[in-house]
Structure 1
Amino acid sequence: MFDAPHPLSSLQRTRGRACVGLGAGARIMELSQEGAAKVFLPRSHGPWPEAVFLNTSGGLTGGDRLAYQVTLAEGARAVATTQTAERAYASAGGWAELEVALRLGPGAALDWLPQETILFNRSALRRRTVADLSADARLLICEMVVLGRAAMGEVLAELELRDWREVRRDGRPVLVEPLRLAAGSLAGGSALIGGARAFATVALIAPGAEDALAAVRAALGPTDGGDGVEAAASGWDGKCVVRLRAADALPLKRAVAKVLKAMRGRALPRVWQI
Structure 2
Amino acid sequence: MLDSADATLSMQRTRGRAEVVLSAAANGAKLRNLHQSGSAKAMLPRNHSPRPEIVFLNTAGGLTGGDKMRFAVTLEDGAQATATTQTAERAYASSGGVAELEVDLTLGRGADLDWLPQETILFEHSALRRRTTARLTGDARLLMVETVVLGRAAMGEVLSDISLLDHRHVTRDNRPVLVEPLRLTGDSLARRGAVAGLNGARAFATVALIAPGAEDALAPMRAVLAGCTDVAVGSSGWDGKCVARLMAADAMPLRHALVALLSNLRGAALPRVWQI
TM bucket (normalised to shorter chain) is: over 0.9
- How many aligned residue pairs are there? 270
Following TM superposition, by how much is the alpha carbon of 1:246 offset from its aligned partner in structure 2, in angstroms? 0.2
* 1-structure distance, mates of 2:195, 2:64: 30
- In structure 2, what is the Cα distance between the partners aligned to 1:47 and 1:254? 26
The TM-score, its normalising length taken from structure 2, stands at 0.95
**Residue 126 (str. 1) matches residue 129 (str. 2):** yes
Q: Is the deviation greater in 182-191 or in 138-147?
A: 182-191
2:254 aligned counterpart, secondary structure: helix
- Whole-angstrom CA distance in 1 between matches of 2:42 and 2:154: 30
Poorly superposed stretches of 4+, deviation over 2 Å: 1-8
Shift in Å at residue 195 of structure 1?
1.4
The counterpart of 2:119, out of the listed 108, 116, 119, is 116
**Cα–Cα, structure 1 residues 7 and 195, in superposed 2: closer, same or farther, change >3 Å?**
farther
Please name the residue that 2:8 is paired with.
Answer: 7
Q: Quote the Cα distance in structure 1 between the aligned partners of 2:154 and 2:275.
A: 17
C-alpha separation in 1, matches of 2:184 and 2:103: 19
User: 2: CA distance between counterparts of 1:258 and 1:273?
Assistant: 12
TM-fit CA distance, 1:116? 0.2
RMSD between superposed Cα atoms in Å: 1.4
Aligned pair partner of 2:74 in 63, 71, 75: 71
Q: Which runs of 5+ in 1 are unaligned?
A: none
Q: Supply the distance in 1 between the matched residues of 2:16 and 2:3 (Cα, whole angstroms).
A: 29
Q: Tell me, in whole angstroms, the C-alpha distance in 2 between the residues paired with 1:3 and 1:141.
A: 51
Note the alpha carbon deviations across 1:185-217, whole angstroms, 9 max, x for none.
123312111110000000000000000001000
1:181 maps to 184
Deviation of 1:47 (Å): 4.0
Q: Tell me by how many angstroms 1:232 deviates.
A: 1.3
| Between 253-262 and 170-179, the greater mean CA deviation after superposition | 253-262
Q: CA deviation at 1:46?
A: 2.8
Instruction: Tell me the CA shift for residue 81 of structure 1.
Output: 0.2
Residues 3 and 191 from structure 1, CA distance in 2 versus in 1: closer, same or farther, beyond 3 angstroms? same
Counterparts of 2:140 and 2:196 in 1: how far apart (Å)?
33
Do residues 158 (structure 1) and 161 (structure 2) align? yes
Is residue 30 from structure 1 mapped to residue 33 from structure 2 by the alignment? Answer: yes
Whether the 8 Å CA contact 2:29–2:50 is kept in 1: the answer is no
Structure-2 residue corresponding to 1:195: 200
**2:237 matched to which residue of 1?**
235
Q: Identity of counterpart residues, as a percentage?
A: 67
User: Aligned partners of 2:58 and 2:4: how far apart in 1?
Assistant: 31
